[in-house]
Structure formats: structure tokens, C-alpha cells
Amino acid sequence: MAYRIGTGGFVANLGKIYAGYTGGFIGFTILLAIAEQMGVPNKIIGYAFVFLTIFVYAYIGFLSRTMEISEYYVAGRVVPAFYNGMATGADWMSAASFISMAGGLYLGGYNAIGYVLGWTGGYVLVGILLAPYLRKFGQFTVPDFLGVRYAGNTARICGVIVLFCASFTYIVAQTFGIGIITSRFLGIPFELAIFAGLVGILVCSMLGGMRAVTWTQVAQYIILIIAYLTPVVWLSTKRYGIPIPELTYGQALQQITELEAKLGIVRHHVAPFTDAKGAFSWTEFHNFWALVLCLMVGTASLPHILMRYFTTPSVREARSSVGWSIFFIFLLYFTAPAYAAFAKLEVYSNVIGQPIASLPAWVQNWSQVAGMLTIKDANGDGILQLAEFTINQDIIVLSMPEIAGLPYVISGLVAAGGLAAALSTADGLLLAIANALSHDIYYKLIDPKASTARRLVVARTLLVAVALIAAAVAGTRPSGIIQMVAWAFSLAAAGLFAPLVLGIWWKRTTSVGAIVGMMAGFGVCLFYLIATRYFDMPLWFGIRNISSALFGLPVAFGVTWIVSLMTTPPSKEMQDFVDSIRTPKGAVAFTAGQAHE
């Protein structure tokens, strides 16, 4: 690469550089396809995809290495909106979106569309309520914003607590997804595969911080979107002659209905808000909209996503970044229902009703990965019935190319895409946690005189430590990927949304009100989640714990409002500053020197 990443020459030539990178990756995939036709073993192809893509990320991380604080925390604030939107898309398209969302639609039908609506709609809240104003506030991290807006380290520490709990839960889910992919395609035990995947996470983020992660995530988005679209476009073209699966999956659904009648399958979730028997359920109705709300608000509260808008050159670029983020996320989310439909069609066509003894090798291969697939001949007739076929939602996308009988190079491509999605989000989460602990705790509270070198050493040490702990927890298989991610969203929503939004939009919000409200909302959410998950506490109003923020969120807003009215208002200086950050144009500088543009 002719340019040192992060320099002016690199930024000025982003189009050429990433166009060349995209062409190189497509060429690499074509070469592996040729190699497969020449008899190269599938295992070698899988290794090539996994290791070469990780090598590329490591190389970008190496070229992005920095000892500058501003570049480590906010990428030097030189990332154009288009590429920041692409990086945000990769940061957002976690293992839950890439690996599990289509699987959730496959198993849950209409009721699982709540994930698509909630995650996508959350960016409307980000764009309207938060992103440009946080950028104008001029801080490095979300706890940094809280510490300045609420004038003290107590708010900063509370923000770090919420950030750590939400981000750690999220990163465990990503590590779990990385373990599934590396276990299947490298042929190693799941518990070992998790730690092997850590290498890919750490090489991207340790040397260059936010700068390395940003440019790596642009590269990862290119891989993941190519990987996600290729198999479903292939199947759409093969079956219906149209390479736009979003236009043809209605025909796939019709064929599924015909096959269900032929196979004697009773289909549930044929309409929204139905229970396991296909009947309308008010409980499902309430849970659906509770999930949409919690995911929307959680999206607007996730520290690793909000950090992305601190990296743009200006407030205007931050606004544009949100728009590009939505577009790049739309490309995958608009395709997910089609992916689920084609996956189910292939299962019904090629698996259900077939002799168990003659099932292809992929069935055995996936059944060895963390118990993700099981086959049982319950009635002893040797023919596989739907009730005898159990597939985890976390492997629907990864296994679909093999189920459909596509060339193995497509399976390797999808694995590379899933790995890119999980690694990109894991990098962002790790950086959010490590930066909060090193910048907001160590530098701001413990050693304000620490040198730049010491601060970066602390950040990198904490990054490694958190990654190792997350891998150890993921090895216990606490839950499915999409469930763990929903927990993280609820924790972030209940703890951070109220102090962030009120801190920008209600200048009367006081430090005491924000702190008490933040911890009250977070505490209620955490209590409900833990009590229902681990202590069999009955559900409140039938609401599942993936929507725990439904109870913490109103508590956070209500307590903040009441306590703020009961306590001394913020200084006139702070109130004037809060007014100024909502002005569309102009630089902003907090007169006390605590915030800057």
C-alpha cells in the first residue's frame, strides 16, 4: 500500500484504495473457486478465507498504528461521512445481524421482524436526537460527555458502569459467533476456537485504536456485504432467473407453502403476533412492540456506535454519516427476509423427507459444532421429519450454501463475511470498553498526569484483558447470539438513553437527577433480566427479558425529571452551552475549557 493509513494522501485516495481492495477480494474468491474445481480440498479453502481475511485486517491495523491520543480515540477526526457510514455499518452488522437475524426470521416468522424494525429504526433516533450534538460537544467517549455535561466524576463513573455491562454482554455474543465460525471452518473444538478468534480481534484494534478499527471496518463491510448477498442472489437467479432476491422471495414463500402441504407440515406464525399454535396472542403483540422499542432506544444508546460520530471532521459530516449508515445497513436488512425464505425452501426441498442414512456430509459437520444441529429418527422409519430436524438459528446463514448444494467456495465466503461482521463489532466494543476504562477512569480519575505512552499502554492492556474474559464467558455458552445482543441493548437503553437525551434537550437536567435516574433505570433493568433469567422470577405482564428496558426506561426518565426539579439547576454557563450545541452551525467551545470543537 502506497500510503501510510491516516495520512492526508491516504484519505485523499480512499476511493482508489478501497476499489482496488474490493477487486482484489473478488479476484481472490474467483481463484479459490477455480482451485475448488481443480480438486483443492474444502478444508484448505476454508482456511484460506479465514486466515487471509484476518491477515488483511492485521495488515491494516499495523499500517494504522499510532501513538497519538486523538488518533487512538477518535481516528484523528478525519473520516469522511461516506466511509464513516460504511465503518458504522460494519460496526453495527454484528454476529446477530449477519449470523442470527435471518435465522430468527427462519424460526420465528413474522414475530421476529421486530429485530429488523427495532435495529433499523434506532438510527432515526441517533440521527435526530444524538449524533450531531454529541459531535458538537467535542468529547472522546460517552462517559466523557456525561462527565462534562453533569460536571463531575460521579456521572462519568456511572456511565462507565453501564457502558461496561452493556458492551461486555454484547462482546460475549460476538465472541460466541466467532467461535462457531472458526470451529466449523478450522475444524477445532468450540472452546479453543473462541480463543483462536481473539487473535483476529486484537490485531485489528491494539496498535491503532479507533483509527485502525475505522479503516479495518470499512474493509470488513465490503467483505460482509459481498458474502451476505452472493448466495441468496445466486439462488434467486438459479430458481427464478432474477438476481434480485428481494423481488423473488415471495415466489419462494409460495413454494414453501406447497411443500408444507406435501410434507404434512403445520405452519405457525403465518400472521403477526401469533403464538405457537398460530392463534393471535396479546402477549406476543405486547412482546413484539416492547422488543421494537427497546432495540430502537438501545441502538441510540450503544457507546461503540455513538463513538463513531466523534470521528468525523465536522458536525455536518456526523449528520451525513448517519444517513450513509442507514443505507449500508439497509442493504443487508432488506435482504434478511429473503435469506430466511430461501434457506427454508432449501431445507424443505433437500433435507426434510429425505432418508437419514443418505444425508450429505454437511449435516455431520455442523452437528459437531457446539450442538448446533441435531438429527433424531424418533419414529424409526429412517425418513427425516421436520420434528426430527433441529437447527439452531445461529447457523442458518452459515450453513445455507451447503444446504443448497452451492460450491464450497461460497460457504467459505459466507464464513469470511460472518467473521468480518463479528470481528468488526467486537473491535468496536473492545475499544469502547478499553477507552472508557483507560481514559475515563485511569486518566481522568487515577493519574491525570499520565504520559501519552503510559495511557496507550494502559488502554491496550485493558483491551487484551477484557477480550480474554469475554472469551472465557462465551465458552460457557450463556445463550444464543441474538438473545445476548438484545440484553445488551436493553441495558444500554435503560442506563444511558435518558441522561444522553435529556442532557442535550433539557438544559434543566441536573447532575444529581441524571446520576440517580441513570442508575435507577439501569438497576431495574438489570434486576429484571437477572431475576427472570437465573432465578425463575415470573415475567412482569408477560414481557420477556430481552425487552428488560421496557421497565427501566420510564424509571430512568421519571426519576431524572423529578430529582432534577427538586435540585439546584445547572449553572447558567452550562445551560447556555447546552443551548449552543443545538444551533445548527458554528463552532462550540465550553468556556470552562471542558468541551471543545
Per-residue pLDDT reduced to its tens digit, 354-365: 888 888 877 877
And the C-alpha cell for 100? 442470527
Give Cβ neighbours of residue 433 (< 8 Å, ≥ 6 apart). Answer: 163, 164, 167, 168, 171, 462, 463, 466
Q: Which long-range contacts (CB under 8 A, 24 or more apart) does 317-322 make?
A: 317/80, 317/81, 317/84, 318/81, 318/131, 318/132, 318/134, 318/135, 319/127, 319/131, 319/132, 320/81, 320/82, 320/85, 321/81, 321/84, 321/85, 321/88, 321/131, 322/85, 322/123, 322/126, 322/127, 322/131
Residue-level pLDDT at 52: 81
Whole-number CA gyration radius for the chain: 24
User: Could you tell me which residues are beta bridge partners of residue 280?
Assistant: 274
CA atoms within 13 A on the CB side of 161: 16
Residue-level pLDDT at 358: 83
* 134 burial via Cβ count (<10 Å: 0-12, 13-18, 19+): buried
Cα 360 to Cα 350: distance, rounded to the nearest angstrom: 10
Task: Tell whether 162 is covered by a domain.
Answer: yes
Q: What is the pLDDT of residues 52-62, one digit of tens each?
A: 877 887 777 66
Task: Tell whether 98 is covered by a domain.
Answer: yes
* Residue 16, φ and ψ in degrees, nearest 5: -65, -45
Residue-level pLDDT at 208: 52
Cα 478 to Cα 132: distance, rounded to the nearest angstrom: 36
DSSP letter at 374 equals E
Task: Tell whether 514 is covered by a domain.
Answer: no
Residue-level pLDDT at 591: 44
pLDDT at 136 over 70: yes
Residue-level pLDDT at 593: 43
- Confidence at 594, pLDDT banded by 50, 70, 90: very low
Residue-level pLDDT at 205: 58
- Confidence at 592, pLDDT banded by 50, 70, 90: very low
pLDDT at 10 over 70: no
Highest-pLDDT range among 69-73, 234-238, 464-468: 234-238
Mean pLDDT of 91-117: 84
Residue-level pLDDT at 251: 93
Task: Tell whether 387 is covered by a domain.
Answer: yes
How far, CA to CA in Å, does 144 sit from each of 140, 152, 463? 6, 10, 18
Task: Tell whether 505 is covered by a domain.
Answer: no
- Confidence at 565, pLDDT banded by 50, 70, 90: very high
Residue in this structure with the C-alpha cell 426506561, named with its chain if needed: 553
Residue-level pLDDT at 29: 92
Sign of CA dihedral 565, 569, 570, 576: positive
Residue-level pLDDT at 597: 34
CA atoms within 13 A on the CB side of 356: 15
pLDDT at 524 over 80: yes
Residue-level pLDDT at 595: 40
User: Could you tell me which residues are beta bridge partners of residue 355?
Assistant: 383
Mean pLDDT of 564-582: 89
Task: Tell whether 583 is covered by a domain.
Answer: no
* 275 burial via Cβ count (<10 Å: 0-12, 13-18, 19+): middle
Cα 212 to Cα 214: distance, rounded to the nearest angstrom: 5
Mean pLDDT of 528-546: 94
Mean pLDDT of 427-434: 78
Residue-level pLDDT at 486: 92
User: Could you tell me which residues are beta bridge partners of residue 383?
Assistant: 355
pLDDT at 296 over 50: yes
DSSP letter at 405 equals T
pLDDT at 6 over 70: no
Cα 224 to Cα 232: distance, rounded to the nearest angstrom: 13
* Residue 389, φ and ψ in degrees, nearest 5: -115, 115
Cα 449 to Cα 444: distance, rounded to the nearest angstrom: 9
Which domain covers residue 416, as residue numbers?
Answer: 8-488
- Confidence at 85, pLDDT banded by 50, 70, 90: confident
Structural element, H or E, at residue 176: helix 153-186
pLDDT at 450 over 60: yes
Give Cβ neighbours of residue 593 (< 8 Å, ≥ 6 apart). Answer: none
Task: Tell whether 504 is covered by a domain.
Answer: no
Mean pLDDT of 36-51: 88
Q: Which residue has the higher pLDDT, 333 or 440?
A: 333
Cα 367 to Cα 363: distance, rounded to the nearest angstrom: 6
- Residue 355: helix, strand or coil by DSSP? strand
- Confidence at 570, pLDDT banded by 50, 70, 90: very high
Residue-level pLDDT at 7: 52
Q: Which residue has the higher pLDDT, 536 or 6?
A: 536
Task: Tell whether 458 is covered by a domain.
Answer: yes
Cα 24 to Cα 21: distance, rounded to the nearest angstrom: 5
pLDDT at 75 over 50: no
Lowest average pLDDT, out of 22-31, 339-348, 447-456, goes to 447-456
Residue-level pLDDT at 14: 76
Average pLDDT score, the chain: 83
Residue 505 and residue 144 in contact, taking contact as beta carbons nearer than 8 Å = no
Residue in this structure with the C-alpha cell 468541551, named with its chain if needed: 595
Residue-level pLDDT at 587: 55
Dihedral angle computed from the Cα positions of residues 302, 162, 465 and 90, in that order, rounded to the nearest 10 degrees: 0
And the C-alpha cell for 136? 458538537
Residue-level pLDDT at 539: 95
User: Could you tell me which residues are beta bridge partners of residue 375?
Assistant: 389
User: Could you tell me which residues are beta bridge partners of residue 274?
Assistant: 280
Mean pLDDT of 364-375: 77
Q: Which residue has the higher pLDDT, 413 or 184?
A: 413
Residue-level pLDDT at 506: 93
And the C-alpha cell for 132? 450531531
- Confidence at 370, pLDDT banded by 50, 70, 90: low
Lowest average pLDDT, out of 206-220, 384-398, 427-441, goes to 206-220
CATH of the domain at 299: 1.20.1730.10
Number of domains in the chain: 1
In sequence order, what DSSP letters do the residues of 521-558 get, joined into one string? HHHHHHHHHHHHHHS-PPPGGG--GGGTHHHHHHHHHH
Q: Which residue has the higher pLDDT, 49 or 310?
A: 49
Residue-level pLDDT at 8: 53
